[in-house]
Amino acid sequence: MALILGMATIWPAQAQEICLPELNPQDSAQSCGGDPGGGGGGGGTPGYVLQGVIQNEGYTTEGAVPGGKRLKIRAYSRLADASNDRVDAHYINVRCNAYDPYGPGYTSDYDEENNGALVDVKFASNSVQGEFRTVRVVCTHHARFGFLTYDTTSSAEIVVPH
């Protein structure tokens, strides 16, 4: 199973970290460590983290060419506080594209939500076959909380088995 996590925090400079989360994003995602934000000096508002995750949820032959398979993809955006608890963003979205590097076109999905902490998409890639069985998934994640915006990207190259 391929799993990729992109994270963005807003603290002195935007930062991005990569780590593997727990598999139950509804409850929590694993923290990557490091400074969770919060002001220096006299304290301040705790920092928030936008987590972007891509998961391989298996393969399907439905809609595939004979001998081919399609990658089943789940991707999500999740806003969390310094304690790694979910936080309802004023607005949150995820947009993903799954590319077959050797074929024409791509598949994509998008979802958004107001006043939510997690938004996800589930979709399948184009059919891949023969020796060209790598699918590249690229997602952009965006959230807005108060006057701050959070953006990150995540990507994965997943080989679909024969």
Q: So what's the pLDDT on residue 90? A: 97
Q: So what's the pLDDT on residue 107? A: 95
Q: So what's the pLDDT on residue 47? A: 86
Q: How many domains does the chain have?
A: 1
Cβ count within 10 A of residue 33: 8
Residue 103 lies in domain:
3-20+48-159
Q: So what's the pLDDT on residue 42? A: 36
Any domain includes 26: no
Q: So what's the pLDDT on residue 26? A: 38
Any domain includes 32: no
Confidence tier at 131 by pLDDT (50, 70, 90): confident
Any domain includes 37: no
Q: Rounded CA gap, 128 and 16, in Å? A: 31
User: What DSSP character marks residue 77?
Assistant: E
Q: So what's the pLDDT on residue 43? A: 38
Q: So what's the pLDDT on residue 133? A: 84
Q: Residue 124: which CATH number?
A: 2.60.40
Structure token digits, residue 33: 């460590």
Does this model's pTM top 0.85?
A: no
Confidence tier at 87 by pLDDT (50, 70, 90): very high
pLDDT in tens, 90-127: 999 999 999 987 777 899 999 999 999 999 999 999 98
Any domain includes 142: yes
Average pLDDT, the chain: 77
Contact (CB, 8 A) for 137 and 122: no
Any domain includes 15: yes
Any domain includes 143: yes
Any domain includes 79: yes
Confidence tier at 6 by pLDDT (50, 70, 90): low
Q: Rounded CA gap, 14 and 137, in Å? A: 23
Q: So what's the pLDDT on residue 77? A: 98
Any domain includes 41: no
Burial label for 150, CB within 10 Å (0-12, 13-18, 19+), is: buried
Query: What average pLDDT score do residues 67-77 get?
Result: 94
Query: What average pLDDT score do residues 73-95 get?
Result: 96
